[in-house]
A and B are shown apart, each in its own frame.
Chain A
Amino acid sequence: MSRIPEAFEGGPAFVPYLAVGDPDYESSKQYVEALARGGADVIELGLPFSEPIAEGPTIQGAVVRSLSGGMTPERFFEFVAELDVDVPLVCMTYYNLIYRYGGSEARRASEASGEAASEEADRPRAFVERAKEVGIDGFVVPDLPAEEADPLREACDEFDLDLVFIVAPTTQGERLERIMSQVSGYVYVQARLGVTGARDDVSGQTDESLGRLSQWDVPKAVGFGIKTGEQAERIVRGGADGIIVGSALVDIVAEGAADGEDAEVVADRLEAKARELKTGAMRGAGVETEEEDDGQEVPNPERT
């Protein structure tokens, strides 16, 4: 077992996402550490892929900044190894980067001579082994549905890492059961159809999805569109065990990059945002905390 399940034990988990290397390696490290200070329970670290088909414009922008700053899988692993945080880390990336890892000149030469088949089974393994080495606890791979996940899951089992599956609003019936029987770590409940991006409302699809999942005893973390502490509160009150927030944080990084602000200033802003989201989630679970942001009365969200 990885450290991930524990992170959900002490109340609702706050799971932030950032693209590693956005906008540059050093700033990015400060940002991730700021999220940990702000109350992150698990951190999703994005390894950018050139064709992020599940991402909206915000995270696409992060991918472009990070890749043009020279991010590679190997740099990503170095980054994780150097990080000074004490929470479980989940690597979020697309399958091709996992599949291709270890793509040395030597392997490409052997591939050209037709020996590729024998190495087939090793492919996700090299990536997983290296991830384990640097301290990754699990994976989310948005373009890898359960149907294609066997090789990666075997590698994860071998190294005791979790493979988190996404459950979409369209995932129902027998399909849902099949996926839930394979989940480890937590289940990523996609709050709405579409791509990632911060939104002003909470989708009704969230409650429906949580309802369908209530019979399973696996931590349920809701993501896609969450932006404020109030939304976090409402979603936890609706039955979520955790909230995943990406684009709202990446927006802060993007603004900082556009305005050329100091990394410290941006890091402080990220930490404050993290605290707002974590506090909101705690309120949703009925836990009042000291730091009620700017003394504002939090309206009691309607439960319909």
Chain B
Amino acid sequence: MSSDTTPDGERDGDGHADSRARADGKFGRYGGQYVPEALMPAIEELTDAYERYVLENEGGFMDEFRSRLADFGGRPTPLQRADRLSERYDREVYLKREDLLHGGAHKLNNALGQVLLAKYMGKERIVAETGAGQHGTATAMAAAHLDLPCEIYMGERDTRRQRPNVFRMRINGAEVNPVTTGRGTLKEAISETMRDWATNVEDTHYVIGSVVGPHPFPAMVRDFQSVISEEAREQVQEKAGRLPDSVVACAGGGSNTMGAFAEFVGDEGTDLVAVEAGGSSLDVDEEAGVAPNSASLSTGSEGVLHGARTKLLQDRDGQIMESHSVSSGLDYAGVGPELAHLVDEGRVRAVNVDDDAALEGFHRLSQEEGIIPALETAHAFAHLHEHPEELGEVVVVNVSGRGDKDLETVLEETEQREVSNAPDLSVLSGGLGGAHGAGDADADARGGDE
């Protein structure tokens, strides 16, 4: 993380652009602090803590953070040359292996940073939302590691889509509260966590899971995640002998995205590509209030949600739409304000791939590189597959997480649609040891006996 502050988007002396938020938390026209008054004093306190501990390293905060990321988290993560993908696409493809970070996703970088900050601030309790369960899992791990009680809010639908992560959170000692309002996904989980925070604000810190929410969260989460590009920028120069032509990352709220981009923003020769979830379609059903995708950068419009002005999926009145993606972690109607700004500025290119392409990307990476990616991550590989020629000769793809959590979903989805490169999964039919599948098999067996 570079510690020199310049106005948003400006280049500073040593050639690194720094899109850090201005003092009022705005990134161009986006950002800000649109939250209930009850939370504002806590947000002021957090802003002060962010400036002192994170930006100024007061009390050696950043040193402790980095040392815990190394010892507890396993950093640095490797930058690996993907041999078969390089051959397939006829260019140098490098993988930034955040899936190898403790917990299996980039999420720990932020969760550990914020839980540690909460400790420095004297907070006694942690709450967090989670979509795919990766952020909830990372927060539960960090809270256990640093001995703070922790409650996670998770959309009820997501608790079913991402069951393995619910187990992990419980096993690390976190309470998991299913949220049943709306469609029961990430948007509702964030709203409900904000309500908890507004109730318990005096002793509780809200560990938000992406570069979203009111200032200082978008800037702070980016700074905790910037370790990804800080490492990758050095590693790629060592391995490829030069800076990459492009960096590709999936984007939900955009924390792995901003983390992978931050240190490259000043490198004009490096294209930054954010891959959103195109879901089942980019068309929007205004009547039903449903956007069957999560592509807010590509198709959204400006509005105010969850504390920030940003790009949103909303109807013409400003009611927020229900989003969709096969991957829970991308299934959100908004996106980080800094990413929205960088896209407007033309510094980041927003693209999207649909559910089917993401599933194919999932199988391709699993089969050809021996890495089972998260479904979120698979979107980045689907874009690489669709448009390798746009990405130049040296490409870094951020492997934001591993896919163990998604196996049940992949099984279901692969059965429901034609995924051209899926292996035959019939040996598992009915679920991975799920009660449902076992029951069916029993019934068949009995049927045979009669």
Contacts and interface: CB of A to CB of B under 8 A. Distances in A.
Interface in B26-81: 29, 32-42, 44
Contacts of B289: 50
A193 B195 contact: no
A1 interface: no
B37 A165 contact: yes
A67 B319 contact: yes
Contacts of B32: 147-148
A212 interface: no
B314 interface: yes
Contact of B36 (A73, A101, A166): A166
A143 B318 contact: no
A53 to B, nearest CB: 5
Interface stretch (A17-25, A167-175, A272-280, A291-299): A167-175
B317 A195 contact: no
B200 A193 contact: yes
A51 to B, nearest CB: 5
B124 interface: no
A20 to B, nearest CB: 14
B93 to A, nearest CB: 33
A126 interface: no
Interface in A37-78: 49-54, 56, 60, 64, 67, 72-74
A103 B316 contact: yes
Interface in A116-131: 116-117, 120
Contacts of A193: 38, 198-202
Nearest to B320: A50
A108 to B, nearest CB: 6
B191 interface: yes
Contacts of A60: 181
B24 interface: yes
Nearest to A112: B301
B302 A145 contact: no
B189 to A, nearest CB: 12
A147 B47 CA distance: 14
A32 to B, nearest CB: 21
B195 A53 contact: yes
B24 A147 contact: yes
Contacts of A147: 24, 32-33, 40
Given A51-B306, A193-B202, A145 B318 contact: no
Given A96-B314, A111-B301, A53 B37 contact: no
A145 B301 contact: no
B302 A111 contact: yes
Nearest to A57: B181
B141 interface: no
Q: Which of A99, A145, A195 has the most CB of B within 10 A?
A: A145
Contacts of A72: 317
Given A145-B33, A193-B38, A193-B200, A99 B195 contact: no
B38 A169 contact: yes
A96 B187 contact: no
B194 interface: yes
A58 to B, nearest CB: 13
Interface string B406-434: 00000000000000000000000000000
Nearest to B289: A50
Interface string B184-207: 000100010011001111100000
B303 interface: yes
Given A165-B37, A194-B199, A53 B317 contact: no
A104 interface: yes
Contacts of A148: 32-34
Nearest to A127: B318
A144 interface: yes
Nearest to A95: B304
Contacts of B317: 72-74, 97, 100-101, 103
A11 interface: no
Nearest to A54: B36
B305 A145 contact: no
Contacts of A73: 317-318
Q: Which of B34, B181, B199, B301 has the most CB of A within 10 A?
A: B34
Given A53-B191, A96-B304, A145 B40 contact: yes
A179 B44 CA distance: 15
A64 B32 CA distance: 28
A123 to B, nearest CB: 9
Contact of A56 (B34, B44, B195, B320): B195
Contacts of B42: 170
A108 B198 contact: no
Given A111-B301, A111-B302, A147-B24, A51 B38 contact: no
B28 to A, nearest CB: 10
Interface of B: 24, 29, 32-42, 44, 181-182, 187, 191, 194-195, 198-202, 289, 301-307, 312, 314, 316-320
Given A143-B307, A171-B37, A194-B195, 12 more contacts: A54-B195, A73-B317, A95-B304, A100-B303, A100-B317, A108-B316, A145-B36, A147-B33, A147-B40, A169-B38, A170-B38, A193-B201
Q: Can you list the 10 inter-chain pairs with the closest CB atoms, starting with the nearest?
A: A100-B318, A168-B38, A194-B199, A96-B318, A170-B41, A50-B319, A96-B304, A103-B316, A166-B37, A50-B320
14 contacts: A50-B319, A50-B320, A51-B320, A53-B35, A53-B306, A99-B304, A99-B318, A104-B316, A142-B37, A166-B38, A168-B40, A171-B41, A179-B37, A193-B202
